[in-house]
């Protein structure tokens, strides 16, 4: 049982070192930013945070022009 525990502990340790190689061994290394609004690669792909996407859709929706015209007509 102790041998199995030590084997698992070594395996997990090696896995963490491999996943964190850039963070641990490269100067200035950091994990990539996973927040959608701050990730450069996602922005380049045209993917934004849900709030921004919602605002963009509201500005470009066809129903918005209809709603604005209805407000002008009814006061």
Tell me, yes or no, whether 57 and 27 share the same domain.
no
Tell me, yes or no, whether 54 and 75 share the same domain.
yes
Tell me, yes or no, whether 47 and 72 share the same domain.
yes
Identify the domain containing residue 60 by its residue range. Answer: 35-75
Residue 33 has pLDDT above 90, yes or no: no
Report d(CA 51, CA 28) in Å as an integer.
31
Tell me, yes or no, whether 24 and 39 share the same domain.
no
CA distances from 33 to 28, 30, 36, 38, 41 (A): 14, 9, 8, 7, 10
Tell me, yes or no, whether 25 and 58 share the same domain.
no
pLDDT tier, 9 (very low <50, low <70, confident <90, very high otherwise): very high
Tell me, yes or no, whether 69 and 54 share the same domain.
yes
pLDDT at 13: 94
Query: Which region holds residue 26: left if phi is over 0, alpha if psi is between -120 and 50, else beta?
Result: beta
pLDDT at 54: 80
Please tell me the total count of domains within the chain: 2
Tell me, yes or no, whether 60 and 73 share the same domain.
yes
């Amino acid at each position: 049982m102790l041998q199995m525990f030590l084997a698992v502990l070594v395996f997990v340790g090696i896995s963490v070192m491999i996943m964190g190689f850039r963070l641990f061994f490269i100067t200035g290394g950091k994990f990539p930013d996973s927040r959608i609004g701050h990730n450069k690669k996602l922005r380049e792909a045209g993917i934004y945070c849900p709030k921004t996407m919602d605002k963009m859709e509201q500005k470009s929706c066809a129903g918005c022009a209809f709603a604005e015209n209805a407000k002008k007509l009814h006061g």
